[in-house]
Each structure stands twice: as structure tokens, then as C-alpha cells.
Amino acid sequence: MGFLKKVIDWFLNAVLAVLIVASIWVFVQVFLLASFRISSDSMEPELTEGDFVAVWKPTLGARLFDLNATLRLEQTEIHRMPGFRKAKRGDVLVFNFPHPNGWDKVEMHILKYYIKRCIGLPGDTLSIRNGKFRINGMAEPLGNTDSQGRIGRTLPGEFPDGVYKAFPFDSILNWNIRNFGPLYIPKAGDRIKMNRTNYALYRKLIAYEQKTVIEYRDSTVYLNGKPMQEYCFQKNYYFMAGDKGMNSQDSRYWGLLPEEYIVGKAAFIWKSADPYTGQFRWDRFMKKIR
């Protein structure tokens, strides 16, 4: 009996130790630190394929939501804890891609993440002129200006297929990645008049907030079958862009990012390995992300 008691005690202690370690791991993942692998070259030269970036969640605040619901691919309410600060222009952010099932609807998939640079904040009016990002009232450059300059020097017919035309892919607005906007980026509480142009720009966001159908017919916008003259936004939105502008699926193509989809600010590269050889790139270890 003494031996059996020792075995049972050892087993219970081992289970307790595993539960404690698992609880600490979950706490760290949810509230403190998460790791994400860079799987494309859209953020070159700052980030390259094979980098592993660390996101320090207290900077912007950790998110709380029903994990089981998201794993079942159900949409759920997301709540953010207080952080040290809000997102800033120039921050490199990890976020849930808002269009995992198609660009016509805003949804969250817990396992689909993107990483891009924040260019426009809630309340900004953003334009692209000759490839370069501009925010009304600001003179300083935004993002990777070398990449933007190359876009500005490239003629429309010289772009690869599918690269030139941009959000909202409207034949009247006719925006492209060389000349885009102006696009107002809504913040919570903003009211806009609902005309044809604003329907084209914001219909996905309104449908996402209201969880219902929005339509435009006979020169009138209808929300759930009822005519709508104006709309008051409930959430904040951001404009995100990759540093490698010729090869980045970002807000120039799919539109604005809901604030609640932001996981956090990418802080540093904690590991990097060549995706083809597996060799460590030691010079990139612990590199701060700027």
C-alpha cells in the first residue's frame, strides 16, 4: 500500500505541475506575449520570410473573447483590456485578417493573421498621390517611401496583373495604388451621409457593425430594407500597408481594419531562419522592429 500511495502522490503532483505550467503558458499567450512567423516578403526590408516576431500585448492591451466560438469559426464579441497606449502611425501591427472568406464581408478567423504597418488612424483622411501615402494636415512621410517612389514611377500598364486597381474597385471612383482617395478613416461616433460614394467605401464596415444587409438601389441606401440617410460608426478603424508596396495584400485592396482585430504591436524579432535551408540568421535575432 505504501508503494501505491507513493505512485498516486507522484502522479497527482505531476498532473498539478502540468496544470500549473499550462496555466502560466495560457496566461502569457493571452495577456503578455505571443509569437508569429513571417510567411511572405510583403514587409521587406524590415521583416523577411522566416522571421519570428514577438508581440508584447500590454502595449495596446490584450483581447478577451470566446476562444471556443472563434475555433468554430463563429463571430464573437471582442473586448480589449486597457493598454499603455493606442496604436500610432508607423507601428508594425499583427492582426486577424478581416476577409478570410472573401473581400466582400468583414469576418474574423482566429488562425489567419497578417502583419502590416499602420499608416492611417481613426479620424485621418488618407490619400495616395504618385504612389506616396499622405495624411491631411501632415507633411512627414509615411511607410516605406522607397517602395512608394517605385510605384509612382511605374506606368499603369507596367504593373503585374491584379496589382494596379485598388479598393473599393468602383468604376466611378477608379482608385488605384498610384492615385487613391481621399478616404476618411472612421472613428467611433463619426456620422457620415449615405450617398453612392460612401456606400461604396463603407458598406462592408456598416454591415459588419450592424450584422445585417446593406444595399444601394434607386439612389438610396437601405439598411435591413429601410432607407438610411446617414450612419453613425460604432467602432474605430485603421489603414494598414506593407512595406513592399508592389507585393502586399493590404488596405489598398481590401479596405479598413477594425480596431478589435488588432492583436498587438510587433516588438522585436526573437528568432530568424532561412525558409529554404533552415539555417539560423543570427544577425536578425533580437532585432527591434521599427
The CA distance from 255 to 232, in Å, is 18
The CA distance from 84 to 57, in Å, is 10
For the chain, state the CA radius of gyration: 22
The answer to whether the Cα torsion of 102, 105, 106, 107 is positive or negative is negative
Which residues have a Cβ under 8 Å from the Cβ of 41 and sit 6 or more positions away? Answer: 48, 49, 244, 247
Q: Express each pLDDT in 141-187 by its tens digit.
A: 899 999 999 999 999 989 999 999 999 999 999 999 999 999 999 99
Ordered structural domains, the chain, with CATH: 2-190+233-274 (2.10.109.10)
Amino acid (one-letter) located at 59: T
Could you identify the residue written with the cell 521599427?
290
Instruction: Please give the pLDDT value at position 287.
Output: 96
- Three cell numbers, residue 253: 485592396
User: 3-class SS at 104?
Assistant: coil
User: 3-class SS at 182?
Assistant: strand
Q: Express each pLDDT in 229-275 by its tens digit.
A: 999 999 999 999 999 999 999 999 999 999 999 999 999 999 999 99
Q: Express each pLDDT in 101-145 by its tens digit.
A: 888 999 988 889 999 999 999 999 999 999 999 999 888 889 999
Instruction: Please give the pLDDT value at position 97.
Output: 95
Phi, psi of 128 (to 5 degrees): -120, 125
- Say yes or no to pLDDT of 52 above 80: yes
Is residue 205 within 8 Å of residue 168, measured between CB atoms? no
- Say yes or no to pLDDT of 35 above 80: yes
The verdict on pTM exceeding 0.75 is: yes
User: 3-class SS at 34?
Assistant: strand
Instruction: Please give the pLDDT value at position 143.
Output: 93
